[in-house]
């Protein structure tokens, strides 16, 4: 009896301690700029996991990582004996039984760590889809919501010198008041889908920074550096060796601002993606980044890059791995997808429908691809539900803060194919205002499929949202969801807005290797015919400043179930999910080659 009572008391103690601990989780700390380049250790690799469809893990004390053999009470899990998942990566394509799973999975990683005296340690996660809770050594650290943006949490007080463990609970269940909401046309990949590590900074550190070409100039760099932590210094040193820039900049109240001439500066462009090594030092903190400098503006219906009109020869793509199943991550995936886009003739990519990983945007910097980056305000958003506006604003901020030094990014997109309503319009107006306050150097866009048809074959772009945009994204599917390809020959478009328009989606499905008459849907020939008619029609529309057809590669979608054709894939890719090019790929490639050779005639960039 005495032993039973002792065991009960032990478990009552653990239960009370754990209940108190689980109530103390923080919100994430402000995002560290350039987290991937900071010192520390990366925890990528194999993590043990436990599937928890009933969400029992907190009650059963999973975060404590107890050993069943060493515990005096009943412990009904054992991370050490459990299977593993690779991080970064989705759980759906690593384990066949998890392909369709939506719910909670618990991850555990044990590791050796030796904190630096006088430094702070942040747990950094590139993304976890969708809700995540983090514990370090059995203690709650933080919670985060949003499946495609990074977060970091100050773990200094919880990490020990020597053996440590992290437990992260990730839940990808869809809800009506989430961003995105219940319905998407892409796979809901769950898990720790991007890099996870421990990032180290001194007590006084560089939180964020921005370097851009000053508007209206071609060689004047302006920017700021924001410091955080203990006020160990009130100065920041900026070095750009290739431009012979070395500046000591005062940082009163923890923020340094500057502007300076940069003699001999070469501007970044798709033809010459010039990047400069930039080093910032504040006290014991030292960060090196690679940053390109370019100007961006609109003038009437033109988009000007470095002061010259540009036509965006683009393609849309999802963050799916190009040569294996599952969520894309890392340099290799980004490089392969962008090599396909470059071979196609692109100077522009639309990263749909959520922020892709930081490796992708940095690869775009290096390879010279202009980027459209967006948050997942897709169809079916609950515009008036409590908290939804805050979720969208937080994801927008995390996207912009992470990538505002990437020269490749020219557009922040705030929604895709959302239906018109007074509630939506007010919501997006506030979001566009927030985007401009966070970063006034990029253009604001969105993809709308809202247009009116006052008479047959006459299309008028018509969406109140456009009043808040710098550049209009237009999705249209004439030839697939709307009529047949030949209808494009008769269609005329009008633009009541004196703003540039990009056709941000068009296309149709084709199963690679399925051939037939051009009038037979689902064949490569039908898709090819759509592209031929689309290109011929769009050549005649003077206000179009770019296109980003849908889509580079076939991608998984649970909505697409036509047997022997879709089989769970959206088949609008110009490349199959196995990496094989379809006939339409070469139609678009030929158009882009002509456009690159004769930008004036092929793009009508002079507006005549």
Residues 480, 388, single domain; the answer is yes
Residues 447, 463, single domain; the answer is yes
Q: What is the CB-side half-sphere exposure of residue 509 using CA atoms within 13 A?
A: 17
Specify if 305 maps to a domain.
Answer: no
Give the per-residue pLDDT at 454. Answer: 85
Residues 183, 218, single domain; the answer is no
User: pLDDT of 434-462, one tens digit each?
Assistant: 999 999 999 999 999 998 888 888 999 99
Report the alpha-carbon distance of residue 120 to residue 117 in Å, rounded: 8
Q: Residues with Cβ < 8 Å from 463, sequence gap 6 or more?
A: 420, 448, 450, 451
CATH of the domain at 164: 2.60.120.260
What does the pLDDT average to over 378-385? 95
Q: Is the pLDDT of residue 239 over 50?
A: yes
Specify if 247 maps to a domain.
Answer: yes
User: pLDDT of 460-489, one tens digit each?
Assistant: 999 999 999 999 999 999 999 999 999 999
Specify if 302 maps to a domain.
Answer: no
Give the per-residue pLDDT at 189. Answer: 98
Of 145, 171, 201, the one marking the end of a domain is 201
Give the per-residue pLDDT at 68. Answer: 93
What does the pLDDT average to over 78-105? 98
Which one is predicted more confidently, 70 or 226? 226
Give the per-residue pLDDT at 27. Answer: 86
Give the per-residue pLDDT at 605. Answer: 39
DSSP per-residue codes, 283-299: TTEEEEEEE----EEEE
What does the pLDDT average to over 387-407? 98
Residues 226, 286, single domain; the answer is yes
Name beta bridge partners: 459.
493
Domain total in the chain: 3
Of 173, 201, 229, the one marking the end of a domain is 201
Spatial contact of 316 and 549, defined as CB atoms under 8 Å apart: yes
Q: Is the pLDDT of residue 321 over 70?
A: yes
Give the per-residue pLDDT at 456. Answer: 87
Residues 134, 266, single domain; the answer is no
Residues 321, 429, single domain; the answer is yes
Report the alpha-carbon distance of residue 368 to residue 270 in Å, rounded: 4
Name beta bridge partners: 451.
461
pTM score: 0.94
Residues 334, 224, single domain; the answer is no
Q: Is the pLDDT of residue 553 over 80?
A: yes
Residues 544, 460, single domain; the answer is yes
Kindly state the DSSP code that residue 215 receives in the 8-state scheme. T
Specify if 304 maps to a domain.
Answer: no
Across the chain, mean pLDDT equals 93
Give the per-residue pLDDT at 510. Answer: 98
Cα-Cα-Cα-Cα dihedral sign, residues 53, 58, 61, 63? positive
Specify if 386 maps to a domain.
Answer: yes
User: pLDDT of 165-216, one tens digit each?
Assistant: 999 999 999 999 999 999 999 999 999 999 999 999 999 999 999 999 988 7
Residues 474, 497, single domain; the answer is yes
Spatial contact of 319 and 193, defined as CB atoms under 8 Å apart: no
User: pLDDT of 344-377, one tens digit each?
Assistant: 999 999 999 999 999 999 999 999 999 999 999 9
The parent domain of residue 229 ranges over 204-294
Specify if 552 maps to a domain.
Answer: yes
User: pLDDT of 95-147, one tens digit each?
Assistant: 999 999 999 999 999 999 999 999 999 999 999 999 999 999 999 999 999 99
Q: Residues with Cβ < 8 Å from 40, sequence gap 6 or more?
A: 121, 124, 197, 198, 199, 200
**Percent of all residues in the chain with a pLDDT value above 90, rounded to a whole number:** 88
Residues 318, 422, single domain; the answer is yes
Specify if 306 maps to a domain.
Answer: no
Using DSSP's 3-state secondary structure scheme, residue 51 falls into: strand
Residues 372, 488, single domain; the answer is yes
**Percent of all residues in the chain with a pLDDT value above 70, rounded to a whole number:** 94
- With cut-offs at 50, 70 and 90, classify the pLDDT of residue 2: very low
Specify if 126 maps to a domain.
Answer: yes
- With cut-offs at 50, 70 and 90, classify the pLDDT of residue 500: very high
CATH of the domain at 527: 3.20.20.80
Give the per-residue pLDDT at 23. Answer: 53
Give the per-residue pLDDT at 72. Answer: 85
Residues 283, 155, single domain; the answer is no
Of 294, 323, 340, the one marking the end of a domain is 294
Give the per-residue pLDDT at 602. Answer: 39
- With cut-offs at 50, 70 and 90, classify the pLDDT of residue 24: low
């Amino acid at each position: 009896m005495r032993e039973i009572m002792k065991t009960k008391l032990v478990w009552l103690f653990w239960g009370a301690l754990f209940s108190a601990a689980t109530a103390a989780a923080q919100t994430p700390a402000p995002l560290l700029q350039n987290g991937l380049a900071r010192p520390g250790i990366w925890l990528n690799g194999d993590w043990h996991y436990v599937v928890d469809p009933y969400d029992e893990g907190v009650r059963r004390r999973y975060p404590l990582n107890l050993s069943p053999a060493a515990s005096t009470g009943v412990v009904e899990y054992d991370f050490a004996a459990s299977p593993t998942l690779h991080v970064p990566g989705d759980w759906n394509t690593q384990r066949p039984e998890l392909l369709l799973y939506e719910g909670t999975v618990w991850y555990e990683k044990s590791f050796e760590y030796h904190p630096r005296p006088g430094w702070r340690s942040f747990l950094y996660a590139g993304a976890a889809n969708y809700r995540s809770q983090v514990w370090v050594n059995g203690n709650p650290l933080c919670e985060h919501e949003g499946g495609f943006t990074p977060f970091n949490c100050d773990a200094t007080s919880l990490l020990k010198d020597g053996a440590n463990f992290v437990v992260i609970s990730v839940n990808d269940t869809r809800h009506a008041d989430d961003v995105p909401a219940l319905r998407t046309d892409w796979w809901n990949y769950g898990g720790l889908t991007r890099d996870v590590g421990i990032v180290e900074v001194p007590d006084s550190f560089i939180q964020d920074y921005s370097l851009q070409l000053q508007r209206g100039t071609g060689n004047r760099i302006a920017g700021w550096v924001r410091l955080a932590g203990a006020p160990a210094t009130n100065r920041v040193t900026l070095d750009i060796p290739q431009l012979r820039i070395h500046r000591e900049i005062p940082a009163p109240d923890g923020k340094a601002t500057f502007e300076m001439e940069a003699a001999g500066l070469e501007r970044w462009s798709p033809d010459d993606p010039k990047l400069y090594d930039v080093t910032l030092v504040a006290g014991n903190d030292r960060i090196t980044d690679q940053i390109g400098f370019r100007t961006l503006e609109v003038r009437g219906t033109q988009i000007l890059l470095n002061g010259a009109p540009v036509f965006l020869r683009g393609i849309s793509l999802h963050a799916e791995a190009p040569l294996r199943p599952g969520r894309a991550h890392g340099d290799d995936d980004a490089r392969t997808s962008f090599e396909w886009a470059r071979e196609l003739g692109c100077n522009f990519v639309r990263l749909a429908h959520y922020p892709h990983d930081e490796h992708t945007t940095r690869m775009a910097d290096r390879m010279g691809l202009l980027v459209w980056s967006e948050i997942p305000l897709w169809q079916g958003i609950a515009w008036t539900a409590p908290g939804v506006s805050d979720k969208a604003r937080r994801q927008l901020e995390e996207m912009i803060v992470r990538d505002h030094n990437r020269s490749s990014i020219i557009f922040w997109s705030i929604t895709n194919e959302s239906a018109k309503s007074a509630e939506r319009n007010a919501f997006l107006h506030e979001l566009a205002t927030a985007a401009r306050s966070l970063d006034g150097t990029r253009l604001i866009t969105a993809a709308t499929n809202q247009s009116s048809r006052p008479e047959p074959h006459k299309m008028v772009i018509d969406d109140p949202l456009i009043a808040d945009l710098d550049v209009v994204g237009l999705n249209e599917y004439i030839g697939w969801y709307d009529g047949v390809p030949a209808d494009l020959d008769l269609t005329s478009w009008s633009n009541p807005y004196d703003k540039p328009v990009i056709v941000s989606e068009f296309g149709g499905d084709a199963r690679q290797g399925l051939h037939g008459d051009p009038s037979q849907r689902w064949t490569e020939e039908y898709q090819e015919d759509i592209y031929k008619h689309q290109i011929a029609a769009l050549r005649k529309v003077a206000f179009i400043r770019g296109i980003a057809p849908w889509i580079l590669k076939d991608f998984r979608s649970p909505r697409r179930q036509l047997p022997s054709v879709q089989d769970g894939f959206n088949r609008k890719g110009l490349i199959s999910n196995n990496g094989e090019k379809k006939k339409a790929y070469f139609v678009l490639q030929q158009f882009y080659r002509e456009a690159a050779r004769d930008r004036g005639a092929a793009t009508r960039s002079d507006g005549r």
